[in-house]
Structure 1
């Protein structure tokens, strides 16, 4: 189906080529291969501007990992804020760091062994920095790796004065902070093409670029595209045939409505959200497992299927326990923060160490909140004012105070007062188990000890058996409780949560919890308030924070979710940096379209299903993906949407499609997670158990994101290991066996009949004359034998047509 990657035309340009997860490159001699690779690298560097511009990943790494080290250990003597700049060296700006100091350049990009910076922090030369003591090995490793990878660092907001305050007034005028407004539809020449309001904006841009849209896709392509987009599953051959034959003028609209009403819609779009929410069924194995994460996953799926408005969707994930309209089952919504990564806290260490670990947890949660809901890297302001966006360090600690007043805990998803009874019983059992553990740890047990052990075991069993709903499901949740890290003897620590109390944090100077600045009340970001932002007064402030994100922060929160939905329909966002709408992010390709669509989305009650209909009923969405050499010459990246992008299925949709093809898919919605590799697992891939410490090999092989962090997008790859999986894995062989049995069911008419049935079943189309001939030749004299048909089925399952959608 797709061209050789060494050909001048791309995989997206040849809809009728065949191959197993792409053809392999032509064999080249080593010198020719080196030349080709060098040319490819040069092309990539030139085309993407890597030589001149920094990637968002580079900026995020420097701001989150490298700059905090410099701020903590170096800025006191080597920054504009130092009382005296030592050695003529400043490390707080791109210009001064690259310039070096009195001893010359301190960094040789790509060569840490030749960099004075690395020599100094390694204490391997005459200069040893910082003078107070050698850095921890982990920080030395980070700095060394940073230099080795090119010492990439972004330019600051101001290179002349790092103390320059943030201009919040100017910040409010940046495009993404300005409230979106309805925009009149522009006049266009080809008005007959228009189907939805978005089409006029797209066509205006096309006409400006001397481009024209591609003709409408055929009906088979449309139903396959729409069904995958909304359910993550392929349409059946019968559904395709029925839609192709349906001549009603609203047949396509009826198709979209049917798919939006499917329970599988929530499964498909819930998986996108779980990427943003860094969903995981478990943390590191050394940490206590709290609650059942799958309840949050199922809540997300159910909320989306029910078309819970996006504003309510957000509110409940922050504060379902504070919303009177929420039921006990809605407490599972608190999993967005409830499933946050937790780090091991060795309480036999000093409080300063534990405070740093706790502060790291707050940073991770602020990063997830900022990037998911606002498209802002708020966590970059932990150690200093944000270098690019109007976010101050005080803003960061105002939000961190909300998290410092919130405890991650289990929530029983049953109504009160039964839930209170279960909580009390659970606490009692926890106390008894702790006492039991102490006694069972004693090597030589006296008769009294043995009697106490038996009594404790009896009490535990009695509570567990007599307490109504004791074994009810418990969700990852939250309660309002202030966190206190306290000394417990010399170099020992204890952690206390005080329910009902709140905690306003002091600024941690340069990110160091032991160096406290002014206290900051819990509140929202300053840039969203014309006056001084009001402090939060209701408990921890979780509910007020969510409301602020949706009200004052609506210019960002609404644009961000609209852009995410657009990306997952069209293959790329109107804003390509999906979780960065700040000054370092990309500018929208169609700003008026994004504003108008966002404005109407909010006016229609933040309904995601309304948004899907608005996009999918457009002429823009219904275009074909036909290649045009002339148009590619004008717009090679299809930025102006002159055709539909062909897209590769993610691991979930691809694996589910394989199970559908073999008639093995278990379509039940919801329930506990299952180990993906389990032999009997026939559930949708959404229900695979996700472990941050040990992601399943198949998921990792097919580009599943890191569940430890917010993931705005997946980067598809094509690797030899994927090809080997298709050719050799037990899973593929099992699905091929299932397909073969279906093809042979009901008796065999002829080899041609097997090939015809195979293409109708797998691709909902007739085979071409060449495909029919190849299939018949392959089956040969063994057409009635399951092993031969299984091999044929496995080859078809490996075709690019099975993993790509037009």
Structure 2
């Protein structure tokens, strides 16, 4: 019996994998960025003197300064083993495991080796051309005036609508721009999606949840010409919308609920997540959204209740600092933290890889080393710390009371270990603690992960390196020197904190504390065209499954060029003009005829545009893990719709909440999330990449989630008093797919379930429900 079920489930899973491709091949821009940030500086420092075109003698006929040289290998054979990356000769050499030990002057440190291993596992991405933009620079200096001519750094242009042959198809400006490109490629739009497909797509796209059978029925029976538009507005106003799109943002902000116990506390990290949810619910203008996350503590218009907004920076990854080690080592660790913040801010808001300029001027973009340290100085002048969500005057007595309670609790813990147990003293201390807490107003006020204006300095704890390290936090900002080759122990000239030169005609040093508010203003004023283009493209990508720019966090030279540049200009310009409203942008996109197209393939379109670059059909999209899990809970009628609050472990049997509230542990990620393509919370994630793996199939077969929800579905039938198999099958199809089963599907189900009086019947129902939860039709939106 079970083998029959196994075959059926695996057969359905295989059907899922044999559908149309989910997306085009992913660009390797992120891998190239990792190479430029981590690997090229290592090679330049340790390898190029013997293995580059500029070497006096090329040792072993091996060149490591070009992609061609790396691929060719040297006298000892191929440098990279593509099939078994960690068995590569390069890896063996840097581990000093074989006859070849590189670099010969001494083994690299553990972090450098780990970076090279990671790069090799990524496929050893290397810029294809041996000549970078840096090689073209006269005297090696960046021409910022020329750099500003690059498309993404240009001011926004107001463009007229293009002329099209079939203007009646267009429902808004988006459609006209898309149709013009289709007609240039001799393509025609696909017909509209079926109403059932459309309503399911709309619910998932805006809320991350499926429509109920009643909601489907109401939409299909509403003949009003405004029915669809009215439904869009209703869904944009639901809490489910804000929860779905908050999770989208948290991917980019590398959100975590938990981190290692020896790192700064994140026990109230959920306050940032809840702040993001509320921001989407209220349609907070994007410019305000950015300012608050970088510098709400500088704004007169916000108060301490807005402090959780700083979680974007305050929840940044932190690295262990063993202060017994010499300060020269700790300085590198602290500098790495600053680099991570530069990377997260520049890629998230500007779509630029500024962190690639830590060790040298950016090889491809007009971003100098001075630009990098001008931004890094802002984060060197900011310390992560918890702050209360009430005014300082109100918190002062709370702080005193908490200090008293802390001392009493320490004393209480010691007494509880004493023998014999001093019960009277323990009872008295317990009563004292309770009295202080109850008599102190606001004692339980939450402490948000936030920032304070203090500069970080790494100094010796004593007179010699052997005496260890001390971290000093001093009031006021600091300007950093430009570290030579990114090494904080080799300081160069001091660089004032200011904005990127390519985005500012004459950048002025920041004067307001660390400069966080001025940075936010620069991003939203001087760089407004780029900032708007980046955000519009991100939202477009989320709706269509592909960006107008295919590299959403790289709008530089190594990024892809826009497929529809005029459309991107039009959307970005109107996004700013319309008050940076994200809900308005969502609304315009889903109201377009393009977004409402069918995703069904058609031979002519497939042949002319196999990757669907010109969007003459809708892209078929698979549910994210969060959407899949939430849809199961929703269909089983066990979803807890509570909004906000502390996280709960994903795999806990008590967890019936939306997956956005599942605990994310940066140090110990849930294996369930890792198997299902959840992004790494240690770094900015520009987009999800869907995979289909054997582990996912095994999870569908053996994981507790599907078994539990199959059981909950069957229990729902009992609650609804549906006892016969035929009506149960019909109800199950309505709950999961929004439609009735075909006669063949119903007969197939009845045949599988067998005799209702048999002993196996109850088990068969659980198996049948689990199969449908893992089916192609449930996992894919269209």
After TM superposition, the score normalised by the length of structure 2 is: 0.89
Task: Give the 3 Å change call, closer, same or farther, for CA 514–456 of structure 1 in structure 2.
Answer: farther
- Aligned pairs (5 A) from 1:588-599: 588-599=562-573
- What secondary structure does 1:387 align onto? coil
Most deviating of 477-486 and 117-126: 117-126
State the match for 2:384 in structure 1. Answer: 408
Mapping for residues 168-179 of structure 1, pairs under 5 Å: 168-179=144-155
Q: How many residues align?
A: 754
Partner residue, 2:211: 235
Deviation per CA, 1:632-678: give whole Å up to 9, x if none.
01111111111111100001110000001111000111111001111
CA contact (8 A) 2:16 2:775 kept: no
Contact 1:121 1:130 in 2 (8 A): no
- How far does residue 506 in structure 1 lie from its aligned partner after superposition? 0.5
Question: What is the TM-score when the length of structure 1 is the normalising length?
Answer: 0.86
Q: What's the counterpart of residue 23 of structure 1?
A: 15
The equivalent position to 2:740 in structure 1, one of 749, 766, 791, is 766
Instruction: Give 2:608's aligned residue.
Output: 634
Corresponding residue for 1:5? none
Match of 1:506 in 2: 481
- 2:152, 2:530 within 8 Å by CA — same for their partners in 1? yes
Provide the secondary structure at the position in 2 that maps to 1:782: coil
Q: Which moved more, 1:752-761 or 1:668-677?
A: 752-761
Aligned counterparts of 1:100 and 1:804: Cα–Cα separation in 2: 43
Which string of whole-angstrom CA distances, capped at 9 and with x for unpartnered residues, describes residues 593-633 of structure 1? Answer: 01101100100000001101111111111111121012101
Q: Does the CA-based 8 Å contact 2:31-2:122 persist in structure 1?
A: no
Displacement, 1:283? 1.6
CA pair 357-599 structure 1, distance change in 2 beyond 3 A: same
Q: Work out which of the residue numbers 2, 26, 29 in structure 2 matches 1:56.
A: 29
Q: Post-superposition shift, 1:758?
A: 1.8
Note the alpha carbon deviations across 1:300-339, whole angstroms, 9 max, x for none. Answer: 0000110000000000000111111113221100000010
- Checking the alignment, whether the CA contact within 8 Å between 2:203 and 2:211 is kept in structure 1 is yes
Equivalence for 2:716: 742
Q: How far, CA to CA, are the matches of 1:283 and 1:254 in structure 2? A: 43
* Residue aligned with 2:453, SS: strand
Deviation at 1:273, TM superposition (A): 0.3
Which of 354, 360, 363 is the equivalent residue of 1:378? 354
Alignment of 1:487-526 (within 5 A): 487-489=460-462, 490=464, 491=466, 492-499=468-475, 501-526=476-501
CA distance in 1, matches of 2:733, 2:90: 64
Q: Aligned equivalents of 2:301 and 2:555: distance in 1?
A: 32
Once the two structures are TM-superposed, the CA of residue 467 in structure 1 deviates from its matched residue by 3.6
Contact 1:109 1:149 survives alignment (8 Å): no
Partner residue in 1 for 2:6 = none
Residue from 370, 395, 412 that aligns with 1:419: 395
Deviation string for 1:214-252 (max 9, x for gaps)? Answer: 111122112111111111011111011011110111111
Q: Deviations over 1:137-191 (max 9, x none)?
A: 4424544675687654224324477961112111111111112222111111111
In the alignment, structure 1 residue 778 sits paired with structure 2 residue 778:
no
Q: Does 1:469 align with 2:442?
A: yes
User: Closer, same or farther in 2 for the Cα pair 1:150/1:279, shift >3 Å?
Assistant: closer
Q: Is the 8 A contact 1:281 1:690 kept in 2?
A: yes
Out of 673, 698, 704, the residue aligned to residue 647 of structure 2 is 673
Alignment match, 2:375? 399
Measured after TM superposition, the shift of residue 566 of structure 1 is: 0.4
C-alpha distance in structure 2 between counterparts of 1:127 and 1:87, whole Å? 18
For the residue of structure 2 that corresponds to 1:411, the secondary structure is: strand
Q: Residue 158 of structure 2: which of 178, 182, 186 is its match?
A: 182
Correspondences of 1:289-688 after superposition (within 5 Å): 289-423=265-399, 426=402, 432=407, 466-489=439-462, 490=464, 491=466, 492-499=468-475, 501-531=476-506, 533-688=507-662
Distance 1:589 1:346 in 2: 49
* Gaps in structure 1 of 5+ consecutive residues: 1-16, 27-42, 446-450
CA 1:229–1:484 in 2, change beyond 3 Å: closer, same or farther? Answer: same
TM-superposed CA distance for 1:23, in Å, is: 3.0
1:94 and 2:66 are equivalent in the alignment: yes
Tell me, yes or no, if the aligned pair for 2:483 and 2:489 is still in contact at 8 Å: yes
How far 1:423 sits from its partner (Å)?
4.3
Change in 2 beyond 3 A, CA 1:610/1:753: same
What residue number does 1:108 align with?
A: 79
CA contact (8 A) 2:479 2:496 kept: yes
Structure 2 CA distance for aligned equivalents of residues 762 and 95 of structure 1: 50
Question: CA separation of 1:265/1:142 partners in 2, compared to 1, >3 Å: closer, same or farther?
Answer: closer
Q: Is the CA contact 1:755–1:772 (under 8 Å) kept in the aligned structure 2?
A: yes
Matched, 1:805 2:777: no
